[in-house]
Amino acid sequence: MTDVDRVQGTITRLDAHFNGLGGGALVDVATDYLTRLQHALDHCTYGERVERALTRAVADVAACAGWSAHDCGDYARAAQLRNQALQAALLARDPIAVTRAWSDLAAQAEHAGRPAEAARINRAALSERHVRAQPLIASLLHARLADCLAQTGDPKGMGRQLAAAEGTYDRADIVGAASWLAFLTPAELSGLAALAHQSAGLYARAEEQAARTLDLLDVRFARNRAYYTVLLAELQLAQGDLDRAAATVADVQVAGVASSRIAARIERVTAAAHAPEGHRDDAR
pLDDT tens digits for the chain (284 residues)? 999 999 999 999 999 999 889 999 899 999 999 999 999 999 999 999 999 999 999 999 999 999 999 999 999 999 999 999 999 999 999 999 999 999 999 999 999 999 999 999 999 999 999 998 999 999 999 999 999 999 999 999 999 999 999 999 999 988 888 999 999 999 999 999 999 999 999 999 999 999 999 999 999 999 999 999 999 999 999 999 999 999 999 999 888 899 999 999 999 999 999 886 645 444 33
Last residue of a domain, one of 46, 73, 93: 93
Pair 151, 243 in one domain: no
Pair 255, 205 in one domain: yes
Last residue of a domain, one of 127, 154, 184: 184
Pair 169, 211 in one domain: no
Cα of 79 vs its chain's centroid, Å: 14
Pair 177, 199 in one domain: no
Last residue of a domain, one of 158, 184, 210: 184
Pair 108, 167 in one domain: yes
- How far CA 59 is from CA of 88, 97, 194, in Å, comes to 5, 7, 29
Pair 178, 115 in one domain: yes
| Cα–Cα distance for residue pair 204/73, rounded to 1 Å | 28
> Taking the complete model, does pTM exceed 0.85, yes or no?
yes
CATH of the domain at 221: 1.25.40
Pair 137, 213 in one domain: no
Pair 123, 163 in one domain: yes
| Cα–Cα distance for residue pair 118/149, rounded to 1 Å | 9
| Cα–Cα distance for residue pair 152/120, rounded to 1 Å | 12
Pair 44, 82 in one domain: yes
Ramachandran category for residue 252: left, alpha or beta (phi over 0 → left; psi -120 to 50 → alpha): beta
Pair 26, 100 in one domain: no
The pLDDT value given to residue 176: 80
Pair 52, 126 in one domain: no
Amino acid making up residue 169: Y
The pLDDT value given to residue 275: 80
Domain span at 246: 187-284
The pLDDT value given to residue 277: 60
Q: How many domains does the chain have?
A: 3
Pair 166, 176 in one domain: yes
- How far CA 22 is from CA of 104, 181, 244, in Å, comes to 17, 15, 26
